Structure 1
């Protein structure tokens, strides 16, 4: 998937402060929804984790959200978080008592693909999400007893 798809993108730049985290998260979710991406739960969580890392380690950061695209493997959304700190994220082992370090394991778990790369005097983290189709989710409740053609 990496590098195969280039689509329209929207970006926003933020000062590295705690107040920027909810603004960046809102920007990413609203941008994705405007482009037809409905499954925003993982996007919201992963943007929050990555921009929190940037807010703690850099003096500024940017969020870029690309248009969704489809392949034979499904529908995907790519986003990037860039900052002016060249130190890359580390996927480190955690314990239940770890006070930090959960962001990158969550990125690794919830994304279809991710990587980071140096850019200028900083870096960017690129994440690709695979859309979970609502028609693929199991039905629950009384409607689950009905045939699919009726429900």
Structure 2
């Protein structure tokens, strides 16, 4: 199957708190529609963390979800902020700062790359 024929979702998001819920709901619905359930919710949590970072630092956000093969899902969050995400070491008492650590723990790989208009932060994970 040609890559462009594979299932994909593109969702434009505003940088508001409700964008996180919309992104999670969109990912869940797409994966269920593709008969690729996310039984542990890992993909939804990864999506939440990537979108949360984007709404803090960007004005334009696009979520892209696709299935590069029969065993993998890729989620990308495109935004207009050229600054790369910074993984920090949060103290045990900190209320936040662990998002990218969660992404790293739940995905098989993740990273970011600059684009002409900002960056894309991505994560890849196995699916059932």
- Residue 87 (1) aligns with residue 83 (2): yes
Q: Which residue of 1 is the match for residue 19 of structure 2?
A: 20
CA RMSD of aligned residues (A): 1.7
List gaps (5 residues or longer) in structure 2: none
- Greater length-normalized contact order (CA 8 Å, ≥ 6 residues apart): 2
Which residue of structure 2 aligns with residue 116 of structure 1? 112
How far has the Cα of 1:47 moved from its partner? 0.8
**How many equivalent pairs are there?**
124
TM-score (structure 1 length as normaliser): 0.75
| Contact preservation (8 Å) 1:78, 1:127 | yes
TM-score (norm 2): 0.87
Computing the radius of gyration over CA atoms, which structure comes out larger, 1 or 2? 1
Matches within 5 A, 1:2-151: 6=3, 7-40=6-39, 41-67=41-67, 69-70=69-70, 75-131=71-127
Consecutive unaligned residues in structure 1, runs of 5 or more: 134-151
